[in-house]
Amino acid sequence: MKSILAPSILAADFANLEREITMLNESEADWIHVDVMDGVFVPNISMGLPVLEAVKRHAKKPLDVHLMIVNPEKFVEAFRRAGADILSVHLEACPHLHRNIQQIKSLGAKAGVAINPHTPVIDLENVIQNIDLVCMMSVNPGFGAQKFIENTYQKIRDLKELILAKKSSALIEIDGGVNEANARLLLEGGADVLVAGNLIFSSSDPKELIQRLKRL
């Protein structure tokens, strides 16, 4: 099934990041997913601009940057300059979401909107035509290796319906708790992009696992 696979380096070995990025370059992964957490929007702090710059120096694949931060308008320009190809902001962190999307597009990046598990898909109704990607959280953001929330399947159906109704070309990205048991079901249900952190980086042979996921 034609799909995009975006390994999340949140689960990578940060002391050997160059080695991890080289592995992804050599693999069949499509994008590299970078999780930025500020300790305010989510109860955890991960990585920021210097790490993205370092990743960019080695990465041969698009960088899909997931901003789990408040006031993203203050930082998107810097993240774009540091190498982000796709920038997703959280709907719940953006009272002026339409403006945030315009700003990202004006920087020449692809614009994504991430939604938390409790956020209804219909909240995207007035922006779905303006965006390239919906990052649908299938765990509560903040940590890797959490359990997949089953209600996500229904939300994918709702989102697919909204995308068709509005003639949007937005891709549906599923982020959190993706594993070998649910990956195929998610793609069959309408997902276009799968993010996977723990699954890939805890594997003894990540490249082979990536190949398996690409062949689902």
Q: Which residues are catalytic?
A: 35, 175
Pick from 42, 38, 88, 46: nearest CA to 63: 88
Contact pattern from residue 31 through residue 60 relative to ligand DX5, giving x for each residue in contact according to CB under 6 A and a dash for the rest: --x-x-------------------------
Check residue 173 for interaction with Zn ion (CB under 5 A): no
Alpha-carbon distances of 200 from 11, 82, 184, rounded to whole Å = 8, 25, 16
Residue with tokens 């409790």: 118
The span from the CA of 101 to the CA of 91, in Å, is: 10
For residue 173, the partner it binds in Zn ion, ligand DX5, none, with Cβ less than 5 to 8 A by kind, is: none
* Window 23 to 42, contacts with Zn ion (CB under 5 A): 35
Nearer to Zn ion, 146 or 166 (CB): 146
Check residue 87 for interaction with ligand DX5 (CB under 6 A): no
Check residue 198 for interaction with ligand DX5 (CB under 6 A): yes
The span from the CA of 55 to the CA of 202, in Å, is: 20
Check residue 112 for interaction with ligand DX5 (CB under 6 A): no
Nearer to ligand DX5, 107 or 145 (CB): 145
Residue with tokens 């190949």: 211
Give the tokens for residue 75: 């930082």
Contact status, residue 85 vs residue 107, Cβ threshold 8 Å: no
CB of 200 to ligand DX5, least distance (A): 8
| First-last CA distance in the chain | 6
Binding residues for Zn ion, rule: CB under 5 A, are 35, 66, 175
Binding residues for ligand DX5, rule: CB under 6 A, are 8, 10-11, 33, 35, 66, 139, 141-142, 144-146, 175-178, 195-199
